[in-house]
Amino acid sequence: MTGYGYRRPDVVITGIGMVTPAGADTTTAWKATCAGLPAAAADPRLAGLAVDFSCPVTGFDPDAVLGTEARRMDPFTQYAVAAAREAVADAAPGDGDWDPARVGVALGTAVGGQRTWEEQGRRLGERGQRAVNPLTVPKAIGNIAAGSVAMDLGLHGPSLALSTACAAGTTALGLALDLLRAGRCDVVLAGGTEAAVTPLVSTAFDRLKALSRRVEDPSGASRPFDEHRDGFVLGEGAAVLVLERADDARARGRRPYARLLGHGASSDAYHLTSPDPDGRGARLALRLALEDARVGAGDVELVNAHATSTPQGDAVEAGLIEDVFGRDTAVTSTKGVTGHMLGAAGAVEAAFTALSIEQGVIPPTANFGAPGADIAGIDIVHGTSRHAPVSLAVSNSFGFGGHNAVVVLGSV
């Protein structure tokens, strides 16, 4: 199916798989997110720390889903493989529909197998070298989630790992779009995965003053755009989307959720952790994404914002949204429910955006009461889900190091 020449093919989303704090499958996660049910709770793994809560994955039994293979995987790989299986089952290819040599995998992650590194580090310190698991490196390296998805599903196209911090899941979707347009793959499983809720990662983010300190009220801690926001809540999980060309999906009778119309990426080139206060890098990524999608900002009806609930980041993004899209475009942040899933966040939010387009439902921004004094006049969906047709939407992701990635999705 190569040789598209200069005709740029439409790319569509035909399968979605998720393992999230809101639920360990897509249906459960979407239902909880539309209900605005925050997933944050006290986390025994963080007991005794200054921030002792997170948004952990719930309802996921790796042994039941993956069998004995689960023991050879870090949780970030377990989540990815489970989400990929669900996504492929959802896409429902028939026998012979997909050539395995033409199916690729592109997965983002911020820190890879962090739990494995920490666990084995403790073993080395407490029990010596012979206690270290010989599979430590293949369990923990950042590319192993993509490689394991390929092995699990018997896929022989490229398996690629993207690491652009909290933009990684969105970066992976952009790469997948390019692979399909270029005719290098016929199908790409794209998304992000993360399992970084550990004592070390939580403490490190807290030392940066990036986390919410609302220890007395974990479920109210992740509050994007709210006047009382004080930092993000660590979450974990994965989302994988099946992307293929619209002609191929149509030929096998599969109705897509949405189209992936374009993507844009940029760098702030400004600071290790802080966004450019003028939003220049994010603005550039937005402009490139809209140009790639060949749509105007005035046509965008929904923004799934990055909005982690940090004081500075939310203010910069809210101002940018008002400036680019105006006051009437609906804005939501699903991190109020899921927390911040780092390298998985962009993929999860793109999946929710696709479901908003398919179902005409915009989830509320959980825990939003009133906008902060520094939040621009934007239309933040809150309280309850909004039922409204959505034909064009944007999903933003921004990461430490100044990584910016944006995708544009549209109705079929």
Predicted confidence (pLDDT) at residue 6 exceeds the cutoff of 80: no
- pLDDT of res. 213: 97
The CA distance from 127 to 169, in Å, is 37
Active site residues: 166, 306, 340
Q: Mean per-residue pLDDT for 293-302?
A: 97
How confident is the model over 126-154, as pLDDT tens digits? 999 999 999 999 999 999 999 999 999 99
How confident is the model over 201-214, as pLDDT tens digits? 999 999 999 999 99
- pLDDT of res. 273: 87
Which residue has better confidence, 365 or 274? 365
- pLDDT of res. 367: 98
- pLDDT of res. 7: 77
Q: Tokens 């005709």 correspond to what residue?
A: 7
- Lowest mean per-residue pLDDT among 202-216, 265-279, 308-322: 265-279
- Nearest Cα to 405, choosing from 84, 201, 177? 177
* pLDDT classification of 354: cutoffs 50, 70, 90: very high
Q: Mean per-residue pLDDT for 192-219?
A: 97
Q: What percent of the chain has pLDDT over 70?
A: 99
- pLDDT of res. 132: 98
- pLDDT of res. 274: 86
* pLDDT classification of 275: cutoffs 50, 70, 90: confident
Predicted confidence (pLDDT) at residue 1 exceeds the cutoff of 50: no
How confident is the model over 164-181, as pLDDT tens digits? 999 999 999 999 999 999
Q: Mean per-residue pLDDT for 73-101?
A: 98
* pLDDT classification of 3: cutoffs 50, 70, 90: very low
Predicted confidence (pLDDT) at residue 344 exceeds the cutoff of 80: yes
